Chains A and B, each alone.
Chain A
Amino acid sequence: MYSELNHLARTEEERDTLREELQALSDALYEKQGTFEDALAHKVRPATAETVKKLLAAPEASDKAKFFENAAKALESLKILELTVAFDPKGQSIERIWQWTRRNVGEGIILKFTVDRSLGAGAIVVYQGKFRNYSLSRLLEDYFEASKNSLAQILS
């Protein structure tokens, strides 16, 4: 049931935000009557409020405090896919890349983007201790290395 929270936490930044939202909702449980509903309405993003309401409606989420505790644990257990890219990915780009990852790699993964424009294009991928450079910069490096002699002749 907590996999739906992954839609709200596609990147590491979104996970930080969601963690704070869930903490705020959890804290509201222990305050006066109506505070939790007020927090759902004003202290979290609409998408978060909607997802939380949907999840809390399920019979297994009758214990709200337990629900938030497990939700926090689920967030921390998400795997991180680190991508160094040459552009600044925003909403649609994040969604596309995240959806591809979800479909082709699996659930429970969040993206951690780093921007390095010297890459030109492509990405450096780091996942669970594995590293691979798929950038345009590396392709060009390979090309220049292979064509060094002929290029040197052209330059001279």
Chain B
Amino acid sequence: MDTQLLFYGTIILTALMGIVLGWVAISYRKLIEKYDKIRTSAQEAEKGLEGQRAKVLEEANLQARQIITEAQTRSGKLLSEAASFGDQTKQLLADELQKVQAVELGYYQKALEDTKVQAQASLGGVSKDVKQEVVRQIDAVRTSLTGEIQKAQVETRQMLAASYKKMEDEIQVYKVERLKRVDEKIFEILKDASAKAIGKSLSLEDHEDVVVKALEDAKREHVL
């Protein structure tokens, strides 16, 4: 049963495939024919285009020649007109220049005014900023200076105290030294005064006695 089904199915499928193949073959043939037609029309169109292109080129050449000829004619005319450029033209040009200058001057003045206003505004702002900055800096410096001054005061006080102590010590040493010198001076004065007083109180004979006594001492000490 199954085999029959398979047989008939295969036959049906084969038939279907034949139909499909037939349809494909017919379609392919039509397509080839269409292609041939298109190719033929394209070749014809190309031939027409080449003819048109040649024609256009010829027209362009012609127009170019005409343009060059016309340009040469105009340039010659312009050159001749330029040679006859007169005073009237110069006057007109000067007037136009003055007008332009006046207009430019007006623009410049306005620009200057605007700049001035802007500068004042900017400077005012700058001045304000600078003022604030300066005040801030001054405050900072003042704070710093206050600290430094206090520090300096403390250091100065300490230095003064140390100097005072050193000076006191030196004065004390000096005092002792001076007193010592004064004592020595007093003794020297006492000695001189005593010597002179005794010397004056001695008679000539006493002086002789003392000198002879000195000579005796000198002999005893082997100076003589």
Compute the total of residue contacts between A and B using a CB distance below 8 Å. Answer: 102
CB neighbors of B among A102-156 (8 A): 104-105, 117-123, 125, 127, 130-132, 134-137, 140-141, 144-145, 148, 151-152, 155
A104-B215, A122-B211, A137-B191 known; A93 vs B224 contact (CB < 8 Å) = no
- Interface pair B199/A121, CB less than 8 Å apart: yes
Chain B residues within an 8 Å CB radius of A49:
none
- Interface pair A105/B224, CB less than 8 Å apart: yes
**Whole-angstrom distance between the alpha carbons of A38 and B198 in the complex?**
50
A125-B224, A136-B199 known; A96 vs B208 contact (CB < 8 Å) = yes
Does A86 count as interface, using CB distance less than 8 angstroms? Answer: yes
Contact pick for B196, options A120, A141, A145, CB 8 Å: A120
- Interface pair A144/B191, CB less than 8 Å apart: yes
- Interface pair B192/A123, CB less than 8 Å apart: no
Chain A residues within an 8 Å CB radius of B212:
96-97, 100
**Whole-angstrom distance between the alpha carbons of A104 and B198 in the complex?**
28
- Number of residues on chain A facing chain B (CB within 8 A): 37
Does B105 count as interface, using CB distance less than 8 angstroms? Answer: no
- Number of residues on chain B facing chain A (CB within 8 A): 30
Does A26 count as interface, using CB distance less than 8 angstroms? Answer: no
CB neighbors of B among A69-119 (8 A): 81, 83, 85-87, 89, 93, 96-97, 100-101, 104-105, 117-119
Chain B residues within an 8 Å CB radius of A96:
208, 212
Does B94 count as interface, using CB distance less than 8 angstroms? Answer: no
Contact pick for A125, options B191, B194, B215, CB 8 Å: B215
Give the distance to chain B from A137, nearest Cβ to Cβ, in Å.
Answer: 4
- Interface pair B215/A136, CB less than 8 Å apart: no
**Whole-angstrom distance between the alpha carbons of A134 and B215 in the complex?**
8
A85-B211, A134-B214 known; A121 vs B198 contact (CB < 8 Å) = yes
Does B218 count as interface, using CB distance less than 8 angstroms? Answer: yes
**Whole-angstrom distance between the alpha carbons of A100 and B216 in the complex?**
9
Query: Closest 7 CB pairs between A and B?
Result: A120-B195, A134-B214, A120-B199, A123-B214, A87-B207, A144-B187, A121-B210
Binding site for B on A (CB under 8 A): 81, 83, 85-87, 89, 93, 96-97, 100-101, 104-105, 117-123, 125, 127, 130-132, 134-137, 140-141, 144-145, 148, 151-152, 155
Q: List 8 A-B contacts (CB under 8 A).
A: A86-B199, A97-B212, A104-B215, A127-B223, A137-B195, A140-B190, A141-B191, A152-B183
